[in-house]
A = this chain, B = another copy of it.
Amino acid sequence: MVTNSHINPRARRKKGTVDVDSLFKDLLAGQVSALSRAITLVESTASGDSAFAKAIIKQALTESGKSFRLGITGVPGVGKSTFIESLGRQLIERGKKVAVLAIDPSSNISRGSILGDKTRMEELVKSDRAFIRPSPAGTTLGGVARKTREAIILCEAAGYDFIIVETVGVGQSETAVHSMTDFFLLLKLAGAGDDLQGIKRGIMEMADAIIINKADGENQTAAKHARREFKNAVHLMPQKDHGWPTQVLTCSGLNGVGITEVIEEIDNYKTHATDNQSFTNKRNAQELYWFHQTIEDAIKTNFYNRPEVIAKLAVLEQEVLSKKKSPFDAAGELLGL
């Protein structure tokens, strides 16, 4: 049995104070235990921890931004873990240090976070150049997203230069992952299976690359056909601001065929986006997005949590639905409280 302290989401630490400077020094040195501990601080809901979390993030920020951040989504069963395992291994072979994080706001309920089953990435788990962290618990997507975003910063400070953020697409989690990564990759399957399960609308148009996975064995012909179909489809979609045409590739997470091409496309994108400055522009826009998103979530929550608003909200909603009041008048009434 292998024990991997760096994949343990609840690394033990002494209660009480945290020596932030020493923790940061260890983090910068790339110590996995320090990284785990820092992420646990960021994830902690204990009130005493938040000041330390803030302090470590503040220091880590100065060292952040140096990685490539890859977002991955796809319906359950599409083979995300196997794909990430293959991709991660090849990246490590090329000298990268790879961190894998997850966003899954549903993990709070099931306690089965998407990376929780560690056996799903067996080889990656064993590598000392890989860091795998399950989805943090949280009741809101905003909370989970914030923790994941801060975990990215910490991983970057610890020297991980390729960060993969995975989501199964609960709620608006694809949008959240899209808003914290440089390149957004949608995994699909050939054939009917995947259509029926269905990803959410708008995701296809968000993707920087669509990868038809499980292009192996008898699936190869269907995968090639699907690739052609998706290529036609993305050709009809409006171009993104950064001017990068969505790529469509096939690959097999299982036997690794096609992974090299995926890495090449990511490299091509990086060159393209660096050359036209959209790489930095997108990152800056993301920073401001999270700044404003946090503000707006908070003022909304404050408003809807006011006792007089709670008391009146359901009544007004009913009056709107029964056409006693227009939505605008009803809103005005609630705002006037």
Contact = CB atoms under 8 A, between A and B. Distances in A.
B203 A326 contact: no
Interface residues of A, number: 61
A40 to B, nearest CB: 17
A88 B64 CA distance: 58
A285 B135 CA distance: 31
Contact of A238 (B150, B200, B236, B323): B200
A233 interface: yes
Nearest to A236: B233
A249 interface: no
Given A195-B236, A295-B334, A320 B288 contact: yes
Interface in A233-288: 233, 235-240, 284, 287-288
A158 B232 CA distance: 46
Copies of this chain per assembly: 2
Interface string A16-59: 00000000000000000000000000000000000000100110
B291 A295 contact: no
Nearest to A323: B61
Contacts of A334: 295
Given A54-B329, A298-B331, A321 B287 contact: yes
A323 B230 CA distance: 39
A86 to B, nearest CB: 24
Given A201-B237, A300-B296, A321-B284, A290 B327 contact: yes
Interface string A172-203: 00000000000000000000000100111111
A291 B319 CA distance: 11
A327 B198 contact: no
Nearest to A330: B291
Nearest to A201: B205
Given A200-B238, A317-B291, A57 B329 contact: yes
A62 interface: yes
A290 B237 contact: no
Contact of A299 (B239, B299, B321): B299
A316 interface: yes
Nearest to A237: B204
Contacts of A54: 329
Contacts of A321: 284, 287-288
Interface of A: 54, 57-58, 61-62, 64-65, 146, 149-150, 153, 195, 198-206, 229-230, 232-233, 235-240, 284, 287-292, 294-296, 298-300, 303, 316-317, 320-321, 323-332, 334-335
Among all A-B residue pairs, the 7 with the closest Cβ atoms: A294-B331, A233-B233, A291-B327, A290-B327, A198-B238, A201-B205, A202-B202
